[in-house]
A and B are shown apart, each in its own frame.
Chain A
Amino acid sequence: MSQDLLHWKQLKEKNDASAIKYFYDQYIKLLYKYGYHFCQDASLVEDCVQDLFLRLWEKRSSLGDTDNVKLYLMVSLKRSIYEKLKKNSKTTVTEEVPEDTFDVTFTMEEQIISSETDQLTKDKLLECLETLSGRQKEVIYLRFYNGFTPEEVSEIMQISNQSVRNVQASALKKMRNNMDDPLLILLVGKIIESFFTEI
């Protein structure tokens, strides 16, 4: 049994408060940084992190079983941030809080820039990354920079296979519009076709 699950069990069955400390030490950095990408308000994220750990303690006897505490904490934090944002927006503006608010700033090391073309390439690449949707950015953040598996990502992001497929189909359509290679269009067309017959 992993250390996480061992502590989870201790918390649930033995009311061991040190388990909270363990999870805090283990995941506070990840949680804080992840949360900050949803809402660029440090004190709100800190409040939500605090609530998350307090709830963990208060609800310890009714906590469900989980096979991955890390994912559980991330999903809970995300939910709690959205709830708080919704609450705040109710009191100030009636505007709804969009669910797709993940934001991240991409950068590149200066060392690799050796020429003007390199500078242009870099600019183009960063520009392209900026146009990604919040969900796409979140996938990249989780997969590439935090090493989560695709299964873990879909669990954290609470996306079903069906909706993943839908997103893919529309993404391919978009891509076909971007590319001008006739061979590519043919290929993409076939892939999209296969997607739709699957659905």
Chain B
Amino acid sequence: MSAIDKYIENKEFVTWVLGDVSKDDYWNKYLEENPEEKENIDKAIDWVKQVKVKDHYFSAQRERELWKEIDQKIADSNSPIKTKTISFKNTWWKYGAAVIVLGIIINFYYRNFVPQHHVDTARKGFTNNITLPDGSTVNLNAGSSISYDKKSFKAGRYISLKGEAFFNVEKGQTFQVNTELGTVTVLGTSFNILARKQKWIVSCYTGKVAVKDKDGNQVILTKGKEAVYKNGSFVTNTHSNTQPNWQKGLFKYSNAPLESVFEEIQRQFDIRIIYKDSGIQKLRFSGTISNKNLEKALDIISKSMDINYKIDNKKKEVEISY
């Protein structure tokens, strides 16, 4: 091993010789303290200084070509800076105007074309009286809701109903109630619609009502008539009420599945029914119950059906068993 090897193999030494001044202090001190090494160090320095770096060749031709490209692009974008500022201002104006116009259009569109859906709901355990924009009134039964577009309501009275409601419609243009199974159209009358799941019953109290399903089947109901929708067709009955029973707080059933009776009880009293024994839901009940008192209502059912109930007021639950 030659005497200079330990230097030329030392990165710190080599980088120092090649210009890393941060190592000046160290190597100057080292030289000072090891004067006998001076000769070797000088030799090593000479060696290191012979090192060259290879740079990538960049031809004069390529240099000219590249400049041509740059020059062309500069010429393309070359407009005096003054006009540039003006055109910038121009675009500002255009953008500003565009934003304002767009705002007006959106506002106009929003006011006139975008429906503003209004929803009224009667929570479970409550009924709700609603007056529509045309003065017609809707009495919502518990657990029901209507929705309509506030903006277009006066032009065309369209309402969607889920659940049960009694309508007292002011005279005027077509008044249409959409339900899941079909529509009810009237001209100023009072009527009741029950539209829950697959159940759809429309009762007319005054005036005239047209009831139409999705297939286009239609019946016209007059005062005292009632249409029950079953298996895709209407069955018309008569009724002698002046007002739906539910508005009086009464629920009349004849040979109705207990399940639907309890569904109504759940809505009227805002409780949950838990069936402890299977098959209870399928039993059939006839009779009238009131929504004034839960215990009384359950008494009537349990006595006639020979079943038991247990009320848990805290959990708002009623257990039904044989």
A residues within 8 Å of B by Cβ? 15, 17, 20-21, 24, 28-29, 32-33, 36-37, 40, 42, 46, 49-50, 53-54, 57-58, 60-61, 104-109, 112, 117, 120-122, 124-129, 131-132, 136, 139-145, 150, 164, 168, 171-172, 174-175, 178-179, 183-184, 187-188, 191
- Chain A CB within 8 A of B63 CB: yes
Q: Are A61 and B73 in contact (CB under 8 A)?
A: no
The CA of A50 and the CA of B69, in the complex, are separated in Å by: 8
Do A145 and B8 touch (CB < 8 A)?
no
- Is the beta-carbon distance between A184 and B30 smaller than 8 angstroms? yes
Chain B contact surface mostly: helix
Please indicate the chain B residues that have their CB under 8 angstroms from the CB of A127 in the complex: 9
20 contacts between A and B (CB under 8 A): A17-B74, A20-B70, A24-B67, A28-B67, A29-B63, A32-B56, A46-B66, A50-B70, A53-B70, A57-B77, A105-B53, A120-B2, A121-B4, A124-B5, A129-B14, A143-B18, A143-B19, A150-B22, A172-B26, A183-B34
Contact of A105 among B8, B10, B54, B58 (CB under 8 A): B54
Q: How far is the CB of A116 from chain B (nearest CB, A)?
A: 11
* Chain A at the B interface: SS class: helix
Residues of B near A28 (CB, < 8 A) are 58, 63, 66-67
A58 and chain B: residue at smallest CB distance: B77
Q: How far is the CB of B75 from chain A (nearest CB, A)?
A: 8
Residues A140 and B58 in contact in the complex (CB < 8 Å), given A49-B66, A109-B52, A121-B47? no
> In residues 244-286 of chain B, which contact A (Cβ within 8 Å)?
none
Bound complex: CA of A181 vs CA of B27, how far in Å? 14
- B55 part of interface (Cβ distance < 8 Å): yes
> Is the CB–CB distance between B58 and A32 below 8 Å?
yes
Closest to A149 in B: B21
Q: Give min CB distance, B83 to chain A, whole Å.
A: 12
Min CB–CB distance B79 → chain A (angstroms): 10
Neighbouring B residues of A54 by C-beta, 8 Å = 70, 73-74, 77
Chain A CB count within 10 A is highest, among B22, B34, B54, B55, for B55
Other A-B pairs beyond A124-B8, A188-B26, 18, CB < 8 Å: A17-B74, A36-B58, A107-B51, A107-B53, A121-B8, A128-B8, A129-B14, A131-B11, A132-B14, A136-B11, A139-B19, A142-B19, A143-B18, A143-B21, A175-B11, A178-B11, A187-B29, A187-B30
